[in-house]
Amino acid sequence: MSEIQTKITPMLWFASEALPAAEFYTSVFPDSSIERVLRAPGDSPGGVAGQVLTVDFTLAGTAFAALNGGPQFRFSEAVSFVILTEDQQETDHYWEALTADGGEESMCGWLKDRYGLSWQVTPRRLLELTQSDDAGVAGRAFAAMLTMRRIDIAAIEVAAAG
């Protein structure tokens, strides 16, 4: 891998879209950049010399790597990334950016982006209400969340208040 010096770095397997995916993700999140693009030094069963092999990048201060590994493996909801948001504007920003151009909405703040990677766009306020010591507040907030695709913070607050 590259100069990224973290103990654990998530490696995302793409068929052949590692570089455009990294470029997309780094355009969506602040404090993000592409650190290194490694091109295959020689021909291999999956490609030819000079093709992008891996991309090391940082998203919101967290190191990631992407591999052009071929079509054998696809993303699933078994692994997702949680984006903790501070308000409705930030929630909407990530939701709209990640569902654009082929992304898919799911339920309870979950979505898949155009590359098939799963994300949970989670407002901090949702967590505060669903983890409330008041079981009624937590239950009402949770029940409201279960009816939503994109999380509507105001609607969650109304539901939690009863």
Specify the residue for token string 């590692």: 18
- For residue 59, give both structure tokens: 């998203």
Same fold across 11-68 and 80-161: no
Nearest CA among 117, 53, 108 for reference residue 80: 117
**What's 80-161's CATH class?**
alpha beta
Whole-model pTM: value is: 0.92
Q: What is the pLDDT of residues 16-32, one digit of tens each?
A: 999 999 999 999 999 99
User: Residue range 147-155: average pLDDT?
Assistant: 98
pLDDT at 64: 97
Return the domain boundaries, the chain: 11-68, 80-161
User: Residue range 43-50: average pLDDT?
Assistant: 83
- The contacts of residue 149 (CB under 8 Å, 6+ apart) are 105, 106, 107, 108, 109, 111
In CATH, the number for domain 11-68 is 3.30.720.100
